[in-house]
């Protein structure tokens, strides 16, 4: 797209606009697009009227200001056509500067000296000491007090929770096989 036509203005001189507002409709050879404002401002002067055709890219079409008080300063503003024609006829060239190549010196890293390896003496093997277990010949049954079996028997008889868990566990074993646990 190098040229376009202003199909219509959506604002007039002295109107305020906000960022994103459509200021004009521009027709190109391929489509009609909205010319949207990038910032808030006020239209001071419209330089190209609606219907103006073959307006080159880069040619000023309007003047905007930030404050409404500044609009009167541009009431008689006219764009110098010689500046516009020179600017639009010459293609814009962008000169690329070659970056300077700076040689960076890397610091020398000192080579570490190998450490002296000392051999350790072989560890001495100590034979294992046999564990001595004293087992009495007979343990009287009356002298051993067990809490677990007595509590477990009480739980089996009187706990509704234990009864429910035992029933569920037995159903699981019937359906899937052993769970690895012994029911209460």
pLDDT of residue 152: 52
pLDDT in tens, 135-172: 655 555 555 444 445 555 555 556 778 778 888 888 88
pTM above 0.85, yes or no: no
For the chain, where are the alpha helices, taking DSSP H only? Answer: 81-89, 148-158, 160-176
Are the C-beta atoms of 41 and 96 separated by less than 8 Å? no
How does pLDDT run across 81-99, given as a tens digit for each residue? 665 555 455 555 666 777 7
| The pLDDT of residue 40 | 92
| Chain position carrying tokens 């797209």 | 1
Report the 10 Å Cβ neighbour count for 63. Answer: 19
């Amino acid at each position: 797209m190098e040229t376009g036509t202003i199909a219509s203005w959506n604002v007039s001189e002295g109107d305020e606009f906000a960022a994103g507002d459509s200021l004009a409709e521009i027709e190109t050879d391929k489509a009609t697009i909205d010319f949207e404002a990038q910032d808030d401002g006020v239209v001071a002067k419209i330089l190209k009227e609606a219907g103006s055709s073959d307006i080159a890219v880069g040619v000023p079409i309007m003047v905007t200001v930030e404050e409404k008080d500044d609009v009167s300063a541009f009431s008689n503003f006219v764009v110098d056509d010689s500046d516009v024609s020179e600017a639009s006829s010459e293609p814009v060239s962008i000169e690329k500067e070659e970056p300077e190549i700076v040689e960076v010196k890397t610091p020398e890293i000192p080579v570490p000296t190998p450490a002296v390896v000392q051999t350790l003496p072989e560890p001495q093997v100590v034979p294992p000491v046999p564990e001595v277990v004293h087992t009495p010949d007979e343990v009287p049954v009356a002298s051993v007090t067990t809490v677990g079996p007595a509590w477990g028997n009480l739980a089996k008889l009187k706990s509704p929770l234990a009864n429910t868990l035992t029933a569920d566990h037995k159903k699981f074993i019937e359906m899937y096989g052993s769970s690895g646990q012994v029911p209460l």
